[in-house]
Amino acid sequence: MDSSTIINIQKKLLIWYRSNARSLPWRGLKDPYLIWISEVMLQQTQVETVIPYFHRWIDRFPDIKSVAYAPIDEILKAWEGLGYYSRARNIKKTAEIILSNHVGVIPSRPIDLIKLPGIGDYIAGAIASIGFGLDEPALDANGIRVISRLYDFHGLVNKVANKKILKENLRTLLPNGCAGDFNQAIMDLGSMVCLSANPDCESCPIQRECMAFSRNTQKDLPVGKARTKKPHFNVVAGIFEKNGKVLIGKRPTNGLLGGMWEFPGGKIEEGEDHNTALKRELEEELGVNIKLRDAFGEYKHAYTHFSVTVFTYFVEIVEGKPSAKVAEKIEWVDIRSLNDFPMGKVDRSISNDLQEKLDHASSVDSV
DNA sequence: TAGTCGTGGCT
DNA sequence: TAGCCAAGACT
């Protein structure tokens, strides 16, 4: 791409951005801490979902110190519903590192940022360019789509080497001193005009410079890899209910829903019925013999790589005292206070339904 | 490298 | 409806 074409792209995109930029709560903020938080929340998550979480977060955690000193359960509670909970755990880790190793100041250069937990190539570029005004590229999924089309690039974008090529292409496009706005212009263009399924090329400010448009290949780009079909699992979970309290466990720190609370249970193995599976799981997890009582609800949920149906039952201890054999810890909790414990979607649904059942029972009693 | 890690919205 | 996708990072 020659230098006059590059200058045209810079001018047209920045002008377009001035009048079409989305108005977002973190736009225009000068505090790199807030830029960092917004970028982490936006990872694999749509803008509309993030906005209310962002407001609540900066209200509760206005600065790095408040994050570093907060209990992990409070951090996870603020993150509940956003998913990818390692993001929240990594924010806390990084806040602690910044306090102890960087005198409380976020580093500005990508080379330093990328060493921090939860900050990868994209977020490092975003903080450097948007938060600190450095001339650094920030290439996200929108950018990958826009740049792939702009250069009519047909390499597989899952490949690290190909992503690097796209990033260097973006770097050559950056106007001096305006990298932050330019990066955001690319992202906004990708989210509003250069759409994945139906690109609106007629309203694109850089249609004339787009090599994919001139060859009519925009709908084939970017080239990605097809995902494999995801399996389904049937799961059982037990509700130990006693005197208005229930037993919940805190999942191990790492892995799926790490650090979140749940009702104990697990996968139904091949050939098992619900009764056998639940007795086995609760023996393994808590060291107790149980008896199944009434069935409660059935819960379906789709994760990224598999889906589940969770069958829940009220259970009763026949023998033994529950201990945390798998969970980080277990706790008997008042049903009314279940909301204080961070949970994933399924367990939150169970928890809400339990509270509703309790409300209904007490309203019947009072009649 | 390729699999893992949540959830909501859209088609 | 079942699958795809969204301001990615980590192992």
- Residue A249 and residue A283 in one domain: yes
Q: What is the pLDDT of residue A186?
A: 95
Q: How far is the CA of A40 from the C1' of C8 (A)?
A: 9
Other Cβ atoms closer than 10 A to A352:
13
User: CA-CA distances (angstroms) from residue A364 to A24, A289, A296, A360, A367?
Assistant: 47, 33, 19, 6, 5
Q: How far is the CA of A50 from the C1' of C7 (A)?
A: 10
- Residue A30 and residue A7 in one domain: yes
Q: Helix, strand, or coil here: A99?
A: helix
Strand C contact residues in chain A (102-131), C-beta within 7 Å: 114, 116-124, 126
Q: Helix, strand, or coil here: A26?
A: coil
Q: Are A301 and A308 within 8 A, CB to CB?
A: yes
Domain boundary among A198, A220, A242: A220
- Residue A171 and residue A56 in one domain: yes
Amino acid at residue number A184: Q
A347 touches strand C (CB under 7 A): no
Q: Are A236 and A277 within 8 A, CB to CB?
A: yes
- Residue A250 and residue A315 in one domain: yes
Task: Kindly give the parts of chain A with pLDDT less than 70.
Answer: 227, 364-367
Residue A225 lies in a domain: no
Nearest to A150 by CA among A212, A204, A58, A202: A212
- Residue A51 and residue A97 in one domain: yes
Here the tokens at position A304 are: 């990224």
Residue A171 lies in a domain: yes
Strands A307-319 and A232-242: parallel
Strand B: which positions are within 7 A of a protein CB? Answer: 1-9, 11
Q: What is the pLDDT of residue A361?
A: 83
Domain boundary among A220, A241, A262: A220
Amino acid at residue number A34: L
Q: Are A276 and A199 within 8 A, CB to CB?
A: no
Q: How many domains does chain A have?
A: 2
Q: How far is the CA of A151 from the C1' of C10 (A)?
A: 30
Residues near strand B (C-beta below 7 A) are: A 44-46, 48-49, 81-86, 158-161, 197, 228, 255-258, 301-305, 344-346
- Residue A240 and residue A109 in one domain: no
Residue A241 lies in a domain: yes
Domain boundary among A220, A248, A267: A220
Q: What is the pLDDT of residue A218?
A: 92
A364: left (phi over 0), alpha (psi -120 to 50) or beta: alpha
Backbone angles phi, psi at A311, to 5 degrees: -100, 125
> Between vectors from CA A89 to CA A47 and to CA A136, what angle results, nearest 5°?
55
Q: Are A60 and A77 within 8 A, CB to CB?
A: no
Only one residue has tokens 């106007």, namely A175
Q: Are A105 and A98 within 8 A, CB to CB?
A: yes
Q: Are A222 and A231 within 8 A, CB to CB?
A: no
Q: How far is the CA of A246 from the C1' of C8 (A)?
A: 37
Amino acid at residue number A159: K
Tell me: the pLDDT tens digits for A101-124? 999 999 999 999 999 999 999 999
How far apart CA A154 and CA A152 sit, in angstroms, is 6
| Active-site residue list of A | 39
Range of the domain at A102: 3-220
A140 touches strand C (CB under 7 A): yes
